Amino acid sequence: MRLTIAERHLQDLGITEPEEIDLEAIAFDAGAQLRYRPLDGCEARIIGRDNQAIITVNSRGSDRRKRYSVAHELGHWHHHRGKCLVCRVEETRPQTALSPERVADGYAADLLMPWYLFKPRARQQPKFNFAAVTALADMFDTSLTATAIRLVESEHTPSLVICHGQGGRRWFARSPSVPDRWFPRDTLDAESYAFDILFGTAKDDTQPHKIGADAWFDRWDAEKYELTEQSIRTRTSEILTLIQVTDTRMLD
């Protein structure tokens, strides 16, 4: 398995278990000092000169949010040294393929959930659901959102993770095996279980539900297939949905 830049750094440090990923030690090794202060308008920023940097992280965030912010800024330190950047760390991938934010987000994911540690533990999860996401998030000390993206991208199961707000779809990620033609709808279908969680009084799904693929994909052939969906609320007006492609004909 080919290692990414962040993964090579972790292996150079002798890291063989998720709990050994000590971001303060990794930052120190990279010449970066961490500070935690209240920040308005951004989650973190980095200022560096020569081989020394100061990373300031919003102290109001959760512990896992802070960890992602530090990892994100270390990505900027490696890839964009010499620049001063103010970041909105959202733990999702911006659409611009070559944007500095996407590069830093990719580095952060590789640093916090390196494939050489993540994939073996993902394969140990017997089912593809939010229970598996939660178990992995606890192992790697990462947010549910970032972990769900990583699990989908790990190819544990042909799948997608989709985020919706009340204004419509905000972002999504898909497994490499899911063809590009399966592009999720902009808005939630009223027949979906997710709709009742976001707009109604339904509680988080404890298990995936079977549903027609046409509830999630606006394609002429979607009505021929079934898939499973499971949604949880991540914020007051935001939900996260795991879509599992259970019909292999969708992958042809």
d(CA 105, CA 98): 12
Comparing C-alpha atoms, which of 246, 214, 216 is closest to residue 231?
A: 216
| DSSP letter assigned to residue 18 | G
What is the rounded average pLDDT of the residues 63-90? 80
Q: What is the pLDDT of residues 196-244, one digit of tens each?
A: 999 999 999 999 999 999 999 999 999 999 999 999 999 889 999 999 9
Length of the chain: 252
Q: What is the pLDDT of residues 8-56, one digit of tens each?
A: 999 999 999 999 999 999 999 999 999 999 998 888 888 888 889 999 9
Confidence at residue 49, expressed as pLDDT on a 0 to 100 scale: 84
Give the model's confidence band at 94: pLDDT under 50 very low, under 70 low, under 90 confident, else very high: very low
Q: Is 83 left (phi over 0), alpha (psi -120 to 50) or beta?
A: beta
88 vs 83: CA distance, rounded Å = 16
Nearest Cα residue to 158 out of 17, 27, 19, 252: 252
Report CA-CA distances (Å) from 174 to 55, 69, 82, 184, 241: 32, 23, 34, 10, 12
For residue 174, is pLDDT > 90? yes
pLDDT at 84: 55
In this prediction, residue 95 carries a pLDDT of 45
Q: Does position 81 have pLDDT exceeding 90, yes or no?
A: no
DSSP state, residue 49: E
Question: What are the E-state strand segments in 60-167?
Answer: 85-87, 159-165
CA angle 25, 28, 31 (to 5 degrees): 155
pLDDT score, position 112: 98
Q: How would you classify the pairing of strands 209-212 and 226-235? A: antiparallel
- Lowest mean per-residue pLDDT among 2-16, 74-88, 122-136, 181-195: 74-88
Contact indicator for 214, 169 with CB cutoff of 8 Å:
no
The pTM of the full predicted model, rounded to 2 decimals, is: 0.91
Q: How far apart are CA 158 and CA 176, in angstroms?
A: 8
What are all long-range contacts of 35-40, with beta carbons under 8 Å and residues at least 24 apart?
36/66
Q: Side by side, which strands form the sheet with 168-174?
A: 168-174, 159-165, 238-244, 226-235, 209-212
- Backbone phi, psi, residue 159, to 5°: -165, 175
- Provide the mean pLDDT of the chain: 92
pLDDT-derived band of residue 102, with 50, 70 and 90 as boundaries? confident
Region 177-184: mean pLDDT is 97
